[in-house]
Amino acid sequence: MSVYRNGKTKVALISGASKGLGRVLANFLAAQGSELIITARDERRLEAVGRELRNQGGQVRTVAGDIGLAEDRQRLLEAVRSSGRLDLLINNASTLGPLPMPSLLNYPLDDLRQVFETNTLAPLALAQLMQPFLATSGGLVINLSSDAANGGYEGWGGYGASKAALDLISLTLANELRQDGISVVSVDPGDMRTDMHQDAFPGEDISDRPLPEATQPFWAWLLGQDHASISGRRFSAQSELWEVLA
């Protein structure tokens, strides 16, 4: 039985699932009985996660690739077709862009385009591809955002702008897809002790940041909600008040 719906086995697609929050989400959903399709660029790490979950009894399909590439997104679509349904799309994969992160006035525009390709356009492209399956299941799309989307932090302009755009895309999709029975939310998971966060702060001690597992109570709550009642909202997974009010 899935934690977020009763009935048939639910299918979830998670990008960026080879480590960090994506891996935590994969473990969490597998433990609830969901069938998983997981993807990431690092095939070796992804296969290791797949083996770990299968050894625990999970139903997992791994599709290594880059969600920024149309041909790899098509392979994910084929995996969903093979499963026959899709209930949950979690757009977790992200890139910080060039490191150290440059100021906007010094940001190479080709690099900025790539940041938007991965962080903004790829999640939208996946939602477009998966729309028929999500409509059939009354599915939920979760787009991972960041406090950088509205923080205006120095050096975070490229990444933050891509996430701010993703937030607007999430809200707009929620409004446009409501008639199809598809719900869309964005979630700021908060600072976490991950490789990506360490990359953003090279040489700094980030041991005071919580592990991604700290967000599990939030996910248990979110996925237990009626989808339509939360669609269009933005959440902060580590705040005392999970919903971010306008």
Among residues 80, 81, 33, the alpha carbon closest in space to that of 59 is found at 33
- Asked if 212 contacts 194 with a C-beta cutoff of 8 angstroms, the reply is yes
For residue 23, the tally of other CB atoms under 10 A from its CB is 25
Q: What angle do CA 36, 43, 10 make, to 5 degrees?
A: 5
Which of 4, 107, 153, 159 does the annotation list as catalytic? 159
Helix and strand element counts for the chain (H, E): 10, 7
Q: Is 4 a catalytic residue?
A: no
Sheet holding 140-144, edge to edge: 59-62, 35-39, 11-15, 88-91, 140-144, 183-188, 234-236
Catalytic positions: 159
